[in-house]
Amino acid sequence: MGVAGRVGYAVVGLGHFAEHVVLPGFGASRKSRVVALVSGDSAKAHRLARKFDADETYTYDNYAQCLANPQVEAVYVATNNSTHAVYTVQAAAAGKHVLCEKPMATSVAECREMLDACRTHNVRLMIAYRKYFEPGSLEMKKLVQSGKLGRLKIIHSAFSIYMRPGGTRPAWHFNRRLAGGGALPDVGVYCVNSARWVTGKEPVEASAYEWTVAPEAFREVDENVAFRLNFPEGLIMQGTASWGGAKDSFLRVVGEKGWVMLDPVYQYDEDRHLYGRINGRWFEKKYQVMNELALELDAMADGVRRNREPEPNGLEGLRDVAVMEAIYQSAREGRPVSISYPDLGN
């Protein structure tokens, strides 16, 4: 696809991830290009526009002018979690497609607003889960759903990074109103989504426990959450989200005939190792680091150009938020909580 045929994007929000992962992803994309940047820091926007060949820059205050730019066909929303909904709804009303960072929003109600706006204005909404396009994760999903593991029994997954206020992360991460939570929506959402995506099953009940060893730093948001998700047919997931440990992640699925493990699973800058034992036979594969953002952008471009629903779509993002709401409720109330998924006519 030539440059003229690429989907033109405005990137909204220029934090660390946008600067160091999202924007470089456009350079490797065959089907998407960045044409505009939106930020509260004009100097930073101009600097990054020069670096990544964006034609225009805008502030949040003149976001409407950005959406009026005919070169902008889609927006990549990478702002704080509490503003995902407002920027998505505005973009949809202007006829722009949306690729939104995870978590989709801070509540199921906000997710519904986003879905309704995109459906009303007939634009595509995709949630930025990179692993849907990474070869190791795809191979794991294929193996799990092939039936070779037998009846699925146990899922183990964890994602940890070390986070404290005053570091490289902006202060909004430690503000519940702006972030919606701490470790769970930041890194735990990957565990929740992966269990659903890899198995093709939906959890029906959540149990959780939240704790911290640094209460002065985590007054509003969670440092650590351990949770159990009950799926139909006796499948149980044990998950952990933490801002208190070194960077690490894994996903392990155990069935009656074997097990498979991807380690690390959620990082974007480390080689992946897929291994396991099925019917007594050991196997292992390795996957080198690749630009997952470019694959994600290309998948969204296909949805836009071919007028088809992207994967993962907004409904997947909403279901993850519904699961996390149940996890938080369980941690607060100290009891198992049934997971409720809104009826959206699907």
- Does residue 345 sit within a domain? no
- Does residue 343 sit within a domain? no
- Does residue 53 sit within a domain? yes
Question: Do 275 and 145 sit in the same domain of this protein?
Answer: yes
Strand segments, DSSP code E, in 112-180 are 125-127, 152-162
Question: Do 282 and 187 sit in the same domain of this protein?
Answer: yes
Question: Do 137 and 126 sit in the same domain of this protein?
Answer: no
Strand segments, DSSP code E, in the chain are 7-12, 32-38, 56-58, 74-77, 97-100, 125-127, 152-162, 205-211, 224-230, 236-242, 244-255, 258-263, 272-278, 281-287, 337-338
Question: Do 60 and 123 sit in the same domain of this protein?
Answer: yes
For 26-66, the pLDDT digits (tens) are 999 999 999 999 999 999 999 999 999 999 999 999 999 99
Question: Do 120 and 136 sit in the same domain of this protein?
Answer: no
Per-residue pLDDT in tens (0 to 9) along the chain, 346 residues: 444 589 999 999 999 999 999 999 999 999 999 999 999 999 999 999 999 999 999 999 999 999 999 999 999 999 999 999 999 999 999 999 999 999 999 999 999 999 999 999 999 999 999 999 999 999 999 999 999 999 999 999 999 999 999 877 789 999 999 999 999 999 999 999 999 999 999 999 999 999 999 999 999 999 999 999 999 999 999 999 999 999 999 999 999 999 999 999 999 999 999 999 999 999 999 999 999 999 999 999 999 999 999 999 999 999 999 999 999 999 999 999 999 998 765 4
- Does residue 174 sit within a domain? yes
pLDDT for the residue numbered 1: 44
- Does residue 155 sit within a domain? yes
Question: Do 234 and 334 sit in the same domain of this protein?
Answer: yes
When divided into structural domains, the chain yields a total of 2
pLDDT for the residue numbered 169: 78
pLDDT for the residue numbered 344: 63
Question: Do 227 and 170 sit in the same domain of this protein?
Answer: yes
- The CATH number of whichever domain residue 31 belongs to comes to 3.40.50.720
Round to whole Å and give the CA distance between 11 and 35: 8
Q: Is 336 helix (H, G, I), strand (E, B) or coil?
A: coil
Q: Six-digit token pair at 299?
A: 């998948």
Q: What amino acid positions are annotated as catalytic residues?
A: 102, 190
- Does residue 46 sit within a domain? yes
- Does residue 344 sit within a domain? no
Question: Do 107 and 149 sit in the same domain of this protein?
Answer: no
Round to whole Å and give the CA distance between 314 and 307: 16
Q: Which range marks the domain in which residue 152 is found?
A: 131-287+322-338
Rounded to two decimals, the pTM is 0.96
Residue 66 class from Cβ within 10 Å (0-12 exposed, 13-18 middle, 19+ buried)?
Answer: buried
Question: Do 80 and 210 sit in the same domain of this protein?
Answer: no
- The CATH number of whichever domain residue 266 belongs to comes to 3.30.360.10
- Does residue 191 sit within a domain? yes
Round to whole Å and give the CA distance between 89 and 98: 9
Question: Do 89 and 137 sit in the same domain of this protein?
Answer: no
Closest by alpha carbon to 125, among 99, 102, 160?
99
Question: Do 17 and 92 sit in the same domain of this protein?
Answer: yes
Question: Do 326 and 187 sit in the same domain of this protein?
Answer: yes
Closest by alpha carbon to 71, among 3, 147, 10, 118?
10
**8 Å CB contact between 127 and 340:** no
For 107-164, the pLDDT digits (tens) are 999 999 999 999 999 999 999 999 999 999 999 999 999 999 999 999 999 999 999 9
